């Protein structure tokens, strides 16, 4: 990504970013200006409350399955590489328990393989494959939809567009915005979702993970707030975009 396109991306983020009240916004002159011309509410990237996914509602009738997500709703899209859902992933988690076919799909699919490798602990890959498979089974049971599509769309919704790296500029260390690759964005989203699952009250990890994925789809997850906070930090440090 060139410097010009990166600057345009930051400007679009600034335009689409929601207004946040500051101390300066509470002055008399500012209040008079806003009273003459009130600010219009910006469109939210979170689905409306009327689109909350119910227990027996069909997922595909509410949420589109097109890869990619938008930030701010005004034409700024970060689309993941086109990846059609194969026939193998359509049949994942179709039973009541995790089978060897499900493990083979998770091993060969790039997204599920990254999920397993990112979340597993102490090299226990078989255990994490079983837990992810049980979470997908729970998603299919609650939504009556393809759990792979629901899982992919949820990660796509809470994956950030840009990140921050520390770099030394003269005598101080600054945080420089930079665009993230597809795998980097998925990893950020996974870690945010995993952190949110640790605050849930369900007893097992598959139920916590499936519940958090559905909360992301319905716009109630803390992972969406983490994504928005990161974009705000990117806008706050946009002055250092040319730092080398």
User: What domains sit in the chain, N to C, each tagged with a CATH number?
Assistant: 49-71+78-159+185-221 (1.10.455.10)
What gap in Å lies between CA 129 and CA 125, rounded to an integer?
A: 6
pTM of the full structure = 0.66
Q: How far is CA 229 from CA 55, 163, 177, 219, 236, in A?
A: 30, 11, 14, 15, 10
Q: Residue 168 is encoded by which pair of tokens?
A: 């030394």
pLDDT (tens, 9 = 90+) of the chain, 244 residues, equals 666 676 667 666 655 655 544 444 433 333 334 344 444 544 544 444 434 444 444 444 445 444 443 333 333 334 444 444 555 566 676 777 888 888 888 888 999 999 999 999 999 999 999 999 999 999 999 998 999 999 999 999 999 999 999 988 888 899 999 999 999 999 999 999 999 999 999 999 999 999 999 999 999 999 999 999 999 999 999 988 877 6
67-103 residues labelled b (16+ CB within 10 A) or e (exposed):
bebbbbeeebebebeeeeeeeebeebbeeeebeeebb
C-beta of residue 137 within 8 angstroms of C-beta of residue 98:
yes
* Tokens describing residue 2: 């060139």
pLDDT at 18: 53
- CA quadruple 173, 229, 160, 46: dihedral, nearest 10: -170
């Amino acid at each position: 990504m060139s410097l010009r396109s990166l600057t345009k991306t930051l400007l679009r983020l600034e335009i689409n970013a929601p207004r946040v009240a500051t101390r300066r916004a509470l002055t008399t002159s500012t209040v008079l200006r806003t009273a003459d011309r009130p600010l219009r509410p910006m469109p939210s990237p979170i689905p409306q409350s009327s689109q909350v996914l119910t227990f027996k509602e069909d997922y595909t009738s509410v949420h589109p399955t097109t890869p990619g997500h938008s930030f701010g709703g005004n034409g700024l899209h970060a689309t993941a590489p086109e990846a059609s859902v194969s026939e193998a992933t359509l049949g994942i988690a179709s039973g009541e328990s995790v089978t060897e076919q499900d493990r083979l799909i998770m091993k060969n699919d790039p997204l599920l393989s990254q999920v397993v490798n990112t979340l597993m602990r102490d090299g226990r890959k078989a255990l994490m494959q079983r837990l992810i498979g049980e979470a997908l089974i729970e998603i299919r049971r609650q939504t009556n939809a393809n759990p792979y599509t629901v899982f992919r769309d949820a990660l796509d919704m809470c994956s950030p567009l840009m990140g921050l790296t520390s770099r030394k500029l003269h005598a101080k260390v600054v945080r420089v915005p930079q665009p993230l690759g597809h795998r980097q964005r998925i990893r950020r989203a996974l870690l945010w979702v995993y952190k949110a699952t640790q605050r849930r009250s369900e007893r097992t990890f598959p139920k916590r993970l499936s519940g958090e994925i559905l909360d992301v789809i319905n716009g109630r997850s803390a992972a969406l707030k983490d994504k928005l906070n990161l974009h705000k930090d990117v806008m706050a440090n946009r002055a250092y975009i040319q730092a080398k």
